[in-house]
Amino acid sequence: AQTVTQSQPEMSVQEAETVTLSCTYDTSESDYYLFWYKQPPSRQMILVIRQEAYKQQNATENRFSVNFQKAAKSFSLKISDSQLGDAAMYFCAYRRQTGNQFYFGTGTSLTVIP
Amino acid sequence: ETGVTQSPTHLIKTRGQQVTLRCSSQSGHNTVSWYQQALGQGPQFIFQYYREEENGRGNFPPRFSGLQFPNYSSELNVNALELDDSALYLCASRIGLAGGNTGELFFGEGSRLTVL
């Protein structure tokens, strides 16, 4: 069974600094997708970034980038130049290429300190 | 473009009752999934509907059931409510089925169910 582990329940970062959120996953598949979702207090989950496992290049979306280590089954999220609006719960998620189900981690609560 | 909308946003039920939650998918999306998010946990997959048929199911008992309508909107029904059913229920939509694309999910704001 696929599992997603986020070992940091809470993280904090100074405004304008950089923070990295960790995620590991367990799978026997070779083709899959990985995602980071953000859930602010308003509750709506918003996609931050996604990575296709067959791509070696790490995905980047503006201030957000990932460090995808396929052999280590690690998928960390780096947020650069942190802003107050980045404060939220962040969930790492996995989906098999041919699967319907998303597997989510337990989340990391990010606080941004002004 | 209209996003995913859910109703009601909050509701309180008592143990043993039944509840129906509703979801309108994002415009152009024909696949709807439901997730249960207990307090302090990540979302757990309940099931998915594609073209009005259940297309995948997580580890939830049969008292969790659903429907998808021709306009791709969806309902989640839960019978014989238990205290542990208290959670945020998230609806998510996307285009098509798995394979061929990342299948990014677009979420609604959820329905907060409290069972007393």
Reported as a pLDDT band with limits 50, 70 and 90, residue B100 is very low
Q: Is residue A104 helix, strand or coil?
A: strand
Residues of B in contact with A97 (CB under 8 A): 98-99
- The answer to whether the CB atoms of A102 and B44 lie below 8 A apart is no
- Asked whether the beta carbons of A92 and A35 are under 8 A apart, the reply is yes
The rounded distance, in Å, linking the Cα atoms of B26 and B31 is: 10
* Nearest-5° Cα angle at A104, A48 to B4: 60
Chain B residue with Cα closest to A51: B102
pLDDT in tens, A20-61: 999 999 999 998 999 999 999 877 899 999 999 998 899 999
Chain A residue with Cα closest to B55: A100
- Asked whether the beta carbons of A58 and A51 are under 8 A apart, the reply is yes
pLDDT in tens, B13-47: 999 999 999 999 988 888 999 999 999 899 999 99
Residues of A in contact with B92 (CB under 8 A): 45
DSSP states of chain B: ----EEE-SEEEE-TT--EEEEEEPPTT--EEEEEEE-TTS--EEEEEEETTEEEEE-S--TTEEEEE-TTS-EEEEE-S--GGG-EEEEEEEESS-SSSS----EE---EEEEE-
